[in-house]
Amino acid sequence: MKDENFLKENNARHMWHPMCHPADSLANPPRIIKAASGVRITDIDGTEVIDAIGGLWNVNLGYSCAPIKQAIADQLEALPYYSTFRGTSNDAVIELSWMLREFFEPDGLSRAFFTSGGSDSIEIAMRLARQYHKIRGEAGRVKYLSLKKGYHGTHMGGASVNGNANFRAQYEPMLPGCHHVPAPYAYRNSFGERDPETLAQLCLAALEDEIAFQGAHTIAAFVMEPVMGAGGVIVPHPTFMPGVRDICSRNGILLIADEVVTAFGRTGSWSGSRHWGVRPDLMATAKAITNGYFPFGACMIADHVAEVFENDETGKANVASGYTYSGHPTGAAAAIACIKETQRLNVVANAAERGTQLFHGVLALKDKYDVIGDVRGGEGLMTGIEFVSDRATKAPLDAQSAGRIQNAMFDAGAMARISGPNMILSPALIISEADIDGILSAIEAGLKAA
Ligand code: PMP
């Protein structure tokens, strides 16, 4: 390992960081994280803080999950890699697909297509949706609808259904045929509607309008996160996702649930779709499937969609997509250990309880600090704070000031993430009551200092 001086001198010099201006990471070198344990991370200067982000919403079981580490080590010894392209498989991935079938049975999803992460999982879901319609003789269903403010990763497909211009503008033109409808974002929306239930109905009506405008027969799928994460933790009213399900079903449109963040317990339910009582047709998962210890994901497929492929007699059902690391045995072994541990610890219960504590704690801060315009969350351990420079006009806080709050919060003992004017809090699902209190006092200290 190179020494500290070497690391500091070369920090960001020979690499570009995601979601960052290359000049900015040179001018403001990123914090070097050297170690982690439990729910805490330690930087190169020896400062230890609570990780209020949980890695990147993926380290649900914290950094010391011994069974996953052991499973990875054992699998590296036995079979570090082999492909699952046509003709070969491995024991870990077979066992994992069996486990996932059981895990997602209440969601009606029984087949998995393995990937290396969330963007891959969305990409394959979008492809399978078009292919499903082609097999069924509806080749004209090629478009995708999604929500403004949604985030669906960085591949050209997922980025095309992303609903945030920041992630698209420099890469346009995107995939043709991707159209966006209003999100149920009560704090800001063009309907001027603050009541979540009425807003949900207005957004559903807008979706129906868009379908009528495009023509249902041209639309392959609707893509949505059950709770919108990177967009700033936008929690829809409980009637919204069931309403989307109903509209999709009535129009022959597949519902792709992007559960890259929400699957495996984050919302306080085992999946975000289950949280809202909805069965999607395809579900993208990744992140917490291996607790962040190995890049891995799975696109889960509903029985009735799978059967269209499996019973195909047209010859169109060959899945002509796949990743070198689809079904990676080491990732699969990590996922098996992770899911067992996730269930053994029953993390959903803690996510729900600690999520309520975090949400109400932040709500109380809103009463004291005008810079907090809106607080969102309450469904598990996903909380968003939207900062404003003026509560009356809702003018968003500039990035520099939000960064100052984040830095002061770090100095006070907790690492949070800033996305636009939002602070996102998504700690490990095993977090204790005392550590949630620690996050809350760090936020308050950060707000005071900044
Ligand atoms: N979908 C959602 C909802 C996400 O939050 C993310 C990543 N934050 C992705 C897709 C993309 O996943 P990945 O970064 O693993 O490619």
Q: Residues in the chain with pLDDT < 50?
A: none
pLDDT of residue 245: 99
Helix (H) or strand (E) holding 387: strand 383-390
Residue 323 near residue 118, CB atoms below 8 Å: no
CATH of the domain at 414: 3.90.1150.10
SS3 352: helix
CATH of the domain at 205: 3.40.640.10
Which atom of ligand 1 has the smallest separation from the CA of 150?
3
Which atom of ligand 1 has the smallest separation from the CA of 56?
8
415, part of any domain = yes
Shared-domain flag, residues 87 and 49: no
130, part of any domain = yes
DSSP state of 46: -
Instruction: Give the domain-ending residue among 293, 320, 344.
Output: 344
Nearest-CA neighbor of 148 among 236, 214, 218, 217? 236
Residue 325 near residue 116, CB atoms below 8 Å: yes
What is the number of other CB atoms lying within 10 angstroms of the CB of residue 200?
22
pLDDT of residue 44: 96
Write down the H helix ranges in 345-376. Answer: 347-368
- Which residues on adjacent β-strands are paired with residue 147? 181
Ligand 1 center from residue 258 Cα (angstroms): 8
Domain count, the chain: 2
Residue 397 near residue 371, CB atoms below 8 Å: yes
pLDDT of residue 151: 98
On the CB side of 79, how many CA atoms lie within 13 Å of its CA? Answer: 15
SS3 154: coil
In this predicted model, what pLDDT tens digit does every residue of 151-195 receive, in sequence order?
999 999 999 999 999 899 999 999 999 999 999 999 999 999 999
Instruction: Please give the Cα distance from 141 to 377 (Å, whole number).
Output: 35
Shared-domain flag, residues 51 and 144: no
Shared-domain flag, residues 164 and 226: yes
| Residues framing ligand 1 (Cβ under 6 A) | 117-119, 122, 151-153, 225, 229-230, 258, 260-261, 286
Residue 116 near residue 148, CB atoms below 8 Å: no
Strand segments (E) across 275-315: 282-285, 297-302
119, 273, 283: residue to mutate for ligand 1 pocket, most atoms within 8 A of CB: 119
Q: What is the ipTM of this complex?
A: 0.99
Residue 322 near residue 90, CB atoms below 8 Å: no
pLDDT of residue 1: 79
